[in-house]
Structure 1
Amino acid sequence: MSAEVLDPVAAVRRFNRFYTRAIGVLEKGYLGTSYTVAEGRVLYEIAKADGVTAKAIGEITALDAGYLSRIVARLERDGVVGRERLASDGRSTVLRLTDHGREVFPAFDRRSAALVEGMIGGLSAERRRRLTGAMAEVEALLGAPEPGPVVLRPHATGDMGWITERHGVHYAREYGWNGHIEAVTARICADFLDSHDSARERCWLAERGGERLGCVFLVKDEIDGVARLRLLMVEPSARGLGVGKRLVAECVAFARAAGYREIVLWTHAVLTAARAIYAVEGFQLEHTWTHDDFGAPEVSETWRLVL
């Protein structure tokens, strides 16, 4: 892999060069017209809004006010855009297409759609899906939207695959554990899907803006009246948000409401953040032993909370 691909700044610049060429930004006339890309964008926003202030166009396009004023002036000279005073406020005006503009714009809009169709026409349905998904992710990442609140939700289709994958990746990367942790996780997830009792067993996913941040399970133990907390995991990107604490607290509240007497869990001494959460919630360390199931000797622990 080249150094340019590894460097995110170089990669974005490379993509910009590709895309500006692909959509004809550098051509003298955009879409075969005498207009620039910026002028075409302003015309598009005016046409779609059917009555919009210049200030609103500026907010949408982020164009400099002086530059935008010159673009609007040109569109007015060409007779495709006109100004109308608002009946509610005679000092304010909105921009609208003129009769001539309504004749010109549909052809302009069709050429824009045809350009895109020409770019993606050879792609299969699956490749189109991948393309639109990748573009949505670029918008989300570079648009820097407010992250929104962290919510806890029940498991849904596809979550078990994500839980299995993330446990395998997380523990291999941070602790050097082998693939046995992924196998253990997959069995727990499969058993849960096959036979979980929705009244007394739950899986929660922590999520923000559609991005999964963590998970936990509460299931029946072999001993009647005892629940088992399993597979608590928080993504590194979500650390410091209180996700693990909320997931464990949700388990405890559910267990009490479901009538369990105790909650038991299995963890490891190396998982210090999780152990701190358990201790704060009132769990007590009950038993320790050493095993090498994950590739190297690890101190395993049993913790218990009497409800």
Structure 2
Amino acid sequence: MNITTLNNKIDQVRKFNRFFTRKIGALREGLLHSSFSLTEVRILFEIANGNNPTATKLRRELGLDAGYLSRILTRFEEQGLTERVRSEQDGRQFHIRLTSEGIKVFFELDQRSRNEVAELLNTLSEDEQQKLLKAMHDIETILDKKSSKFSEAVYLRSHQPGDMGWVTHRHGVLYAQEYGWDERFEALVAQITADFINHYNPERERCIIAEMNGEIVGSVFVVQSSETVAKLRLLLVEPKARGFGLGSRLVQECITFARHAGYKKLVLWTNSVLLEARHLYAKAGFKLVEQEEHHSFGKDLIGETWELVL
């Protein structure tokens, strides 16, 4: 690449950076009309959505200087926004979590951010929105060299006509192949997806579909159980898409959505034979709270209820 071509490309990248930071309001003295900087708001977001991270994890995830991060965390503590809790697994480590005041501040900032993005998206047609989201995903995956080649190609979206048929069909096929479950499980999935569509509340419920190169490779649902409790349902990852972190990504998307929707608890029902799924739930912070033997789908099973306090 000659120097002229390189300089032209550098200028284009810098031009886009200037445009985008202005468009999202990152140049304001206080982000989201607050007294917090962009970095401080991002740290609050990671604490709120990171399952009580340690300072080390925050520094690694955000790529911040240790001293700079420490000063911000100290200021948060002095303001009563965060607190440190000694780890039960390793007494040398401390987890950082939001206080009640910190949760209040974070959700106010988060709602302002969501409102600003909604205002931006509402100026675009559905086709323009999809093009924008796809372009953003392409930028993220091209620049994120830490991700595997497969996971970079995965695109998450909300449900569209025809998706419920895919969810029902693939659950029926895969659970018959992998666990020997009969068609009554497929009937259960069909009922769950029908109830989701017939009673869909977009403010409180979500279906997440994972695509790779236009092909669906995974799905998961968050549905309302009560005003304070949501259910995670129908997590599925196609065999060829397993081992790349997609399952964990789908579970985390559900947790984030449930928090934003204002739920206090996220629960799920699974069976002890689903070892990979159980591992994902435990890794995400869910706790096993109940077990019961039952005969369903042509098999003797042990049903399990797991829950996560949000």
Amino acid at match of 1:294: F
Map of 2:200 onto structure 1: 196
Please give the alpha-carbon distance, in whole angstroms, between the structure 1 residues aligned to 2:299 and 2:196: 28
Q: How many residues align?
A: 161
Q: Does 1:295 align with 2:298?
A: yes
Misfit runs of 4+, over 6 Å:
none
CA RMSD, 1 decimal: 1.1
Q: Pick from 243, 250, 253 the counterpart of residue 253 of structure 2.
A: 250
Unaligned runs of 5+ in 2: 1-148
Matched, 1:236 2:239: yes
Matches within 5 A, 1:125-164: 149-164=153-168
Percent identity, aligned pairs only, is 53
Secondary structure at the counterpart of residue 299 of structure 2: coil
Partner SS state of residue 292, structure 1: strand
Counterpart amino acid of residue 161 in structure 1: G
1:173 correspondence with 2:168: no
Return the alpha-carbon distance in structure 2 between the equivalents of residues 212 and 241 of structure 1.
15
Determine the C-alpha separation between the residues in 1 that align with 2:155 and 2:270.
25
One-letter code of the match for 2:279? Answer: A
Provide the rounded CA distance (Å) in 2 between the counterparts of 1:251 and 1:243.
13
Q: 1:200 & 1:224 partners in 2: Cα distance?
A: 9
3-state secondary structure, aligned to 2:296: coil
Distance 1:306 1:278 in 2: 13
1:305 aligns with 2:290: no
Matched, 1:225 2:228: yes
- Looking at CA atoms only, which structure, 1 or 2, has the larger radius of gyration? 1
Shift of 1:224: 2.5
* 2:262 is equivalent to residue 259 of structure 1: yes
TM-score, normalising length: structure 1: 0.51
Q: Distance in 2 between matches of 1:293 and 1:276?
A: 22
Distance 2:294 2:215 in 1: 34
Distance 2:285 2:262 in 1: 18
TM-score by length of 2: 0.51
Q: What is the CA–CA distance in structure 2 between the aligned matches of 1:242 and 1:211, rounded to whole Å? A: 17
The secondary structure found in structure 1 opposite 2:258 is helix
- Give the one of 271, 275, 281 matched to 1:268: 271
Whole-angstrom CA distance in 2 between matches of 1:152 and 1:279: 23
Match for 1:217: what amino acid? F
Aligned to 1:209: 213
Residue type of the partner of 1:236? P
Structural mapping, 1:25-36, within 5 Å: none
Q: Distance in 1 between matches of 2:209 and 2:275?
A: 21
Structure 2 partner of 1:77: none
The alpha-carbon deviation at position 270 of structure 1 amounts to: 0.6
Give me the whole-angstrom Cα distance separating, in 2, the residues matched to 1:253 and 1:209: 25
